[in-house]
Chains A and B, each alone.
Chain A
Amino acid sequence: MKEAVKAAEDEVFDIELNIDILKANQRLAEENRKLLQKYGIKAVDIMGAIGAGKTSLIEKLVEALKDKYRIAAFKGDLTTTIDAEQIARHGVEVVPINTGKECHLDANLVKKALKRLDLTKIDLLLIENVGNLICPAEFPLGSQKRIVVISVTEGPYMIVKHPFIFTDADVAVINKIDLAKAMQVDTRKLEKDVKTINPKAQVAFTNCRTGEGINKVIEALRL
């Protein structure tokens, strides 16, 4: 037998890897989606800037829907449970998710939070993301619908300045419409901005203090 061929010293090897780093979160999101589906739970991810009115929107949705659905909420925040307590006052189960320093929720945190709930006792899960118009867009959580809340107090260019988050949104909620005049913001222009980026997204105008327009959000979510 001839001598075996051996790799020479300092031989360079090409190694195919094809490892997708972002897939890890996408895979977990898919697992969450399947788990929620198995229990027949509708899940909505609510994104938006700090102070846009995400928590107020959840409070109003809870009030309007709590007779129809058994609701639970996840409330993403850096370190406090202030908002979580505010939502819990409406008599629904709330799991606060403190991200510590992270600027968004990810599928893994949602997976952990799901373990805290008795999934047989829930029909609707409202997930409030960390206040941020950028990062949450990169991290799907496994919800069926994604809402982006923007408010007129953020100025007239909020949507054109942060277009990416709207590409994944099913519903855009334009909040604080009662202040539009004082802010000199044209809400129809905001709607047009959303539609230009994502013609599929539905737009609802709200005042989450009074509850005006909440029924439109519920309609858009088909709840």
Chain B
Amino acid sequence: MDLFIQFLTNTGYYLADYRHLIMLVVGCTFVYLAIAKKYEPLLLLPIGFGVIVGNIPFFKGFGLGIYESNSVLHYLYFGVTSGLYPSIVFLGLGAMTDFSSLLVRPKLMLLGAAAQMGIYFTLLSALAFGFLPKEAASIAIIGGADGPTSIFLTAKLAPHLIGPVAIAAYSYMALIPIIQPPIMRLLTTREERLIRMPEIERTVSRKELLLFPVIGVILCCFLAPASIPLLGTFFFGNLMKVSGVVDRLAKTAASSIIDTATIFLGFTVGASTQGDVFLTPKSVGIFVLGAVAFSIATACGVLFAKLMNLFSTSKINPLLGAAGVSAVPGSAREVHLVGQKEDPSNYLLMHAMACNSSGVIGSAICAGILWSFLA
């Protein structure tokens, strides 16, 4: 009988408290959104299931939990805390990115830079809310709308915040269709949303495509060496793709490798949200500031596009500024859809992708800058 009682006291049912239950509901909601609503299923499904697994109560000391050394989850989580998974994801991302649209419209790169201003606004806001500088920087990078970059910087500066920061970053990426359109509509007039972007007939030569990753990695990594783990792999992945001589490697990086990293990244980040360490007032603050960061980044991009229109003869559709955040390709798709609501024959997708890909570079540079400021 004693053995049976001892067994019962070691079960999850006995050890559960309200925080576990709350997080289980959160995890189930993520899984539901991923499967039923198809909201960013590639991210929300592994994270949601990870949240469920991470919040099953267990007897501490068995080496089961993600924070217990020698546990399997702990070893898998190493890829997150060391910044390994984000780096691998960037390799695959580079191998999937086509910079042609950016190379024919280099001016749009400025919108990718402008959208990063949200990061610095949020840095100031987080400091003002009483967060320490390293924590503030980790929260601010959510404004870049880039999950792997947020995880990478947080792992380096404030590892204890990885769970809330990652969940916030990925949640807001999934909520792009809800967050961005109202801001875009609020800051633009109908006439501005109707602006058609001129089609550029020029075709990008292979030499340009080959030179871009080499120039990009040299220029960006010389400027912010701390971004090497992200941009180094990103541009390498792209060079593999455009070189055409290592198709097998490029295809593997763009499929099997990035998929594997995404699975483990999502699952372990989800599992790191154990109720007792996740449900804190700080997490609430991170979620609020994350939303602020994302919104300000969107607004900065749109407003900068309007500013450019004041000085430029060829007008830019200001909606494109919203794609300056690096949520690829969600924000570009949203810009395109908002533009098409006003004029179904206005195709903004390729232009928005140009802003989007420059946003990826911009947010990685910002992460490098913040890391070098605060390391």
A is bound by B = no
Chain A residues with CB under 8 Å of chain B are none
Chain B residues with CB under 8 Å of chain A are none
